[in-house]
Amino acid sequence: MPAHVLSLRDPRFGSPVAAEVHGDVTVAAVANAWGSWSGLEAECPAVDGAQTSLAADARAGETDWRAALVRAFAVAATHLDRLPQPEDSEGTPVTSLTCAVVTPAGVFIGWLGGVTACVLDDRRVVRESEPHTLIRKLLAEGHKTAALAGMAQSFGHCIVRSLGPTVHSPSLPELVEWPPLRPGERLLLTPRATVAALRDHLPLAPAGGAPWLYAAVSTGDESGPRIGALIEP
């Protein structure tokens, strides 16, 4: 089950992407704090913590991947505890984080914030996680779609849940389980803006692997967080 990671950002901003293969289990994590008031400091520690936890579980033969994902986010939060903590909450180190575990039995996703996990075939997005945006929150609270129509675009850019230090709030991820990847499908973890751009460029010319990931990430805005992780069956 091949895995690839890519960051096209300036190296000074770090590379908050990771993927590892352990037997028939592949684990991956991608973080994105682009646009956060607190900057990008939380990204790499979050990925390091989550990936270390998931990789250890994969090596140990874990099968309860929902529980493993919850643990991974808890470990990631403790890594943020090690960062300098500001006096006011506005500068708290936070980041979006999405983790994936791909096994022969299924695909397990955990996320907080705006990094999307999606399964694609050559021509379309088959399924995807839903980012934690303000518009999603308002709709879930019962606000009318029509009343929010004029605000959907701006509210769709506001992230209302993210990973933060343990001292502020529990960082419990949203979880989902998808069917196993089929031949011709691939799992991509990347910021939601890249998925939106990618839809207009499918099918991509490269057949798969690292060239496909490069083409996919390159569809994102050059001034944005062009990062991603790819897992194929």
Question: What is the model's pLDDT at position 207?
Answer: 85
Rounded Cα–Cα distance for residues 209 and 230 (Å): 8
Query: What are the angstrom distances between the C-alpha of 47 and each of 4, 30, 75, 157, 172?
Result: 15, 6, 10, 22, 15
On the question of pLDDT at 138 being above 90, the answer is no
Rounded Cα–Cα distance for residues 197 and 103 (Å): 28
On the question of pLDDT at 154 being above 60, the answer is no
Percent of the chain whose predicted confidence (pLDDT) is above 70: 88
* Residue with more model confidence, 1 or 83: 83
User: pLDDT averaged over the chain?
Assistant: 89
Angle at 6 between CA 178 and CA 119, to 5 degrees: 20
Q: What value does the mean pLDDT take over residues 208-233?
A: 92
CATH code at position 122: 3.60.40.10
Q: What value does the mean pLDDT take over residues 1-30?
A: 93
| pTM to 2 decimal places | 0.91
pLDDT digits (tens, 9 = 90+) for 69-105: 999 999 999 999 999 887 776 778 999 999 999 999 9
Which domain covers residue 38, as residue numbers? 3-231
Where do the H-state alpha helices sit in the chain?
A: 43-59, 65-81, 134-140, 145-148, 152-155, 192-199, 209-218
Q: What value does the mean pLDDT take over residues 173-178?
A: 98
Question: What is the model's pLDDT at position 146?
Answer: 47
pLDDT digits (tens, 9 = 90+) for 107-128: 999 999 999 999 999 889 999 9
Rounded Cα–Cα distance for residues 209 and 228 (Å): 12
Phi-psi region of 225 (alpha: psi -120 to 50; beta: other; left: phi over 0): beta
Rounded Cα–Cα distance for residues 216 and 197 (Å): 9
Domain count, the chain: 1
Question: What is the model's pLDDT at position 86?
Answer: 79
